[in-house]
Chain A
Amino acid sequence: MASVPRANGVQSPAVGVGPSYRPAEEKPTATVSRDVSHENVHVLPQTPQLIALLTIIRDKDTQRADFIFYSNRIIRLLVEEGLNHLPVVAHTVTSPVGKDYVGVKFEGKICGVSIMRAGESMEEGLRECCRSVRIGKILIQRNEETSQPKLFYEKLPTDIKDRWVLLLDPMLATGGSAIMAVEVLKSKGVPEDRILFLNLIASPEGIQNFAEKVPKVRVVTAFIDQGLNEHK
């Protein structure tokens, strides 16, 4: 996670951030996420609050404890947003005031899969939202010479093909590792459209690559950068 803040120096122009009812001159300016037009890529709403959290985790002077706390807050928002994409069925209960409440029930089992080692930092946030969730692991390392990702290790729930999978990786650079992780899941029988990829900061090239290779995987991210730096 130490390498989360990453930018290539090509900053998009800062824009006014704030709720729609606030006049433009009262909105502070900041750099917000880039827009992408892929159907399955969801960027969290760029509220001033979210930008402030991202600012803290990008700041090199932020203490480690604060870094962990504030990145956790964003991760929780990512998980909450991701869970909205899971299917539900109508479910009526009688509320404590004696009235029928037409609600919904979560359908299907879920599990988390973190791409080691950075993805493991997102497990706590996942557990804060889904208490007894099973968490599988995949270790993918990039070959320093070829820049190609290589699968080293995986340990996944045996019934993973019957589950919805929340794939965790805070950084998406080229998309190589994440695509490989999706391929591993698919080889275990998980349909592509039952995978949700939760991500903190992504590069536009990575998002592009990922969305083209595995178009049915839904991506939830907090921020898409302007460009990737030369170190792929």
Chain B
Amino acid sequence: MSETSAPKSSSSVASGQKATNVPGDADISDTQTAHYSPPWADLSIIGIAGSSGSGKTSLAVEIVQSLNLPWVIILSIDSFYKSLTPEQNAAAHRNEYDLDSPNSIDFDLLVEKLQELKQGKRTDIPIYSFQEHQRLDKTISIYSPHVIILEGILALHDPRILKMLDMKIFVEADADVCLSRRIVRDVRERGRTIEGTIKQWFAYVKPVFQLYVEPQKQAADLIVPRGMHNIMAIQMIVNQTRQILKEKSIRHKAELERLGQQLEDYTLSENAIILAGKPQITGVATILRDPSTAQVDFIFYFDRLTALLVEKALDCHNHVSTDVITPQGYRYSGLKSAGKISAVVILRGGSCMETGLKRTIPDCLTGRLLIQSNYRTGEPELHYLKLFPDLDKHETVMLLDPQMPNGGAALMAVKVLVDHGVAESRIVFVTCLAGKRGLKRLMTVFPKIKVVTADVVEDNEKRWIEERYLGC
């Protein structure tokens, strides 16, 4: 357990860097403002290098599969090949171009992308076509990984990348095995011929191996002989990765805990809109809490309540003046919506609020986030997201979650929207029951968002609304 102290200190450095890197947060002079660092701003990178055909990819896949977590992903250096000029391209098709030398890889871009990911930002990774030897126009978007496995022949080559790696692995394999694997792969997956592959092997791959690949062993923490067949080594790497993830989870929970401290004196701003107090709201809340309420009645009263909450949330939406002519021919100076309104549902609880939402805005654009609390640790985890590409241009984005027991999932959800370019002041978090500390925690980190809640309750109430509404 002595290992935990070292990463902890490094995390405080990481979060320190983060604070200076987020311009939106830096200019808030309010002393009540705190900073939340999500787990994806605490990224670990594992580098796996080795000769072509040594089984790097298989090893990486094996690690990811045995962990089976959405936030452990593989990033292949192959995506960062430079696009070839027409002459180079022609040479490459004659298998006379050296694709294995460090010069053919855009390390500058790779470093830039890894730095972005380290800061917890959403990053677009290029896609390289081996058939065309060109970078495609399309990109793949990567967001919120906790661990990235960086895999490539030269993963341990660039000193800037070496500095960012948390674990450095070199995979060794017999040269005959490598050549035969390479032939099979290039012919099957990359549309090459056997002759071409062999020609390339002796002209480029082997010399490059001796010149660049093999020396990387010097930088490695771990050298894995026999690649994929070394089950013991794979098991060790998986276990070490588990340990890294566990420490991250501990740090993230500590981060959430830290944000919950010293909030007693914090007074909620006007941005927290609480409906409680009116007899109808209390009456509906009583029916909802009553265990003898039938599920059909529960659904009816909950839909009624959410429709009201959404109406209240829309009061935060911006409007502009407009003149209309009434059927009698008079001019009325009224208002109209200033832009798009959309909602992002935090699954699974948020889906209960969609009926109420659609009752108010039948054609509301709805994105989705699946944030689950880990059943063992209670840590919120982002499993899935599907958001509109133009979300940053929407005038108002509502986040829907029936309960905010401690603000953990809410913090994460707002952070996801902010990371996708939505201005804080355009976010309205709509909930029925907000935990007292959770609400304050959320508002200290994101003071400009608005929160509409039916009531403020004790912290850490279990998520009973979705269980009652969905019946399981």
A contact residues vs B (CB 8 Å cutoff): 2-3, 5-9, 11, 14, 17-21, 28-31, 47-49, 51-52, 54-56, 58-61, 69, 73, 76-77, 80, 83-84, 86, 88, 91, 93-97, 99, 101, 103-106, 128-129, 131, 229
Beta-carbon contacts under 8 Å, B220-256 to A: none
Write out the residue numbers on chain B whose beta carbons fall within 8 Å of the beta carbon of A88: 279, 282-283
Write out the residue numbers on chain A whose beta carbons fall within 8 Å of the beta carbon of B316: 19
Beta-carbon contacts under 8 Å, B432-472 to A: 458, 461-462, 464, 467-468
Say yes or no: A55-B300 contact (C-beta < 8 A), given A14-B321, A48-B315.
no
Cβ of A103 and Cβ of B333 under 8 Å apart? no
Closest A residue by C-beta to B334:
A55
Say yes or no: A52-B336 contact (C-beta < 8 A), given A103-B289, A106-B283.
yes
Which of B69-77, B163-171, B303-311 interfaces with chain A?
Answer: B303-311
Write out the residue numbers on chain B whose beta carbons fall within 8 Å of the beta carbon of A101: 285-286, 289
Write out the residue numbers on chain A whose beta carbons fall within 8 Å of the beta carbon of B322: 55
Cβ of B19 under 8 Å from chain A: no
A-B contact pairs, 11 of them (CB 8 A): A5-B328, A28-B319, A28-B321, A49-B314, A52-B319, A59-B326, A60-B324, A88-B283, A95-B464, A105-B283, A128-B359
Minimum C-beta distance from B58 to chain A (A): 48
Cβ of B182 under 8 Å from chain A: no
Residue in A49, A51, A88 with the greatest tally of chain B CB atoms within 10 Å: A49
Cβ of B308 and Cβ of A30 under 8 Å apart? no
Write out the residue numbers on chain A whose beta carbons fall within 8 Å of the beta carbon of B289: 93, 95-96, 101, 103
For B282, give its contact among A21, A77, A80, A104 (CB under 8 Å): A104
Write out the residue numbers on chain B whose beta carbons fall within 8 Å of the beta carbon of A97: 461-462, 464
Say yes or no: A5-B332 contact (C-beta < 8 A), given A19-B270, A73-B360, A106-B283.
yes
Cβ of B320 and Cβ of A28 under 8 Å apart? yes
Known: A19-B316, A28-B318. 4 other contacts (CB 8 A): A11-B332, A31-B333, A95-B464, A97-B464
Query: What per-residue 1/0 map shows which CB atoms of B263-287 lie under 8 Å from chain A?
Result: 0000000110000001110110110
Residue in B331, B332, B360 with the greatest tally of chain A CB atoms within 10 Å: B332
The 6 closest A-B pairs by CB, nearest first: A55-B334, A103-B286, A5-B326, A96-B464, A59-B324, A95-B289
Closest B residue by C-beta to A100:
B289
Alpha-carbon gap, A61 to B324, bound state (A): 9
Alpha-carbon gap, A31 to B322, bound state (A): 10
Cβ of A60 and Cβ of B327 under 8 Å apart? yes
Alpha-carbon gap, A58 to B278, bound state (A): 30
Say yes or no: A103-B334 contact (C-beta < 8 A), given A20-B270, A76-B307.
no
Alpha-carbon gap, A94 to B326, bound state (A): 52
Cβ of B333 and Cβ of A84 under 8 Å apart? no
Cβ of B462 and Cβ of A7 under 8 Å apart? no
For B327, give its contact among A5, A52, A99, A106 (CB under 8 Å): A5
Write out the residue numbers on chain B whose beta carbons fall within 8 Å of the beta carbon of A20: 270
Cβ of B307 and Cβ of A58 under 8 Å apart? no
Cβ of B13 under 8 Å from chain A: no
Write out the residue numbers on chain B whose beta carbons fall within 8 Å of the beta carbon of A94: 291
Cβ of B330 under 8 Å from chain A: yes
For A11, give its contact among B291, B318, B328, B331 (CB under 8 Å): B331
Cβ of A30 and Cβ of B328 under 8 Å apart? no
Closest A residue by C-beta to B326:
A5
Cβ of A54 and Cβ of B334 under 8 Å apart? yes
Minimum C-beta distance from A99 to chain B (A): 8
Write out the residue numbers on chain B whose beta carbons fall within 8 Å of the beta carbon of A9: 330
Cβ of A30 and Cβ of B321 under 8 Å apart? yes
Closest B residue by C-beta to A18:
B319
Cβ of A91 and Cβ of B286 under 8 Å apart? yes
Cβ of B331 and Cβ of A229 under 8 Å apart? no
Closest A residue by C-beta to B462:
A97
Cβ of B334 and Cβ of A58 under 8 Å apart? yes
Minimum C-beta distance from A132 to chain B (A): 10
For B333, give its contact among A29, A52, A60, A96 (CB under 8 Å): A29
Cβ of B317 under 8 Å from chain A: yes
For B328, give its contact among A7, A14, A54, A77 (CB under 8 Å): A7
Cβ of B4 under 8 Å from chain A: no
Say yes or no: A229-B328 contact (C-beta < 8 A), given A17-B335, A54-B334.
yes
Alpha-carbon gap, A224 to B66, bound state (A): 67
Cβ of B337 under 8 Å from chain A: yes
Minimum C-beta distance from A57 to chain B (A): 10
Write out the residue numbers on chain B whose beta carbons fall within 8 Å of the beta carbon of A91: 286
Write out the residue numbers on chain A whose beta carbons fall within 8 Å of the beta carbon of B328: 5-7, 229
Alpha-carbon gap, A58 to B333, bound state (A): 10
Minimum C-beta distance from B452 to chain A (A): 12
Minimum C-beta distance from B329 to chain A (A): 8
For B332, give its contact among A58, A61, A104 (CB under 8 Å): A58
For A55, give its contact among B290, B327, B336, B462 (CB under 8 Å): B336
Write out the residue numbers on chain B whose beta carbons fall within 8 Å of the beta carbon of A18: 319
Cβ of A129 and Cβ of B327 under 8 Å apart? no
Minimum C-beta distance from A134 to chain B (A): 17
Alpha-carbon gap, A31 to B271, bound state (A): 25
Cβ of B319 and Cβ of A17 under 8 Å apart? yes
Closest A residue by C-beta to B458:
A99
Alpha-carbon gap, A86 to B43, bound state (A): 56
Minimum C-beta distance from A225 to chain B (A): 10
Cβ of B337 and Cβ of A52 under 8 Å apart? yes
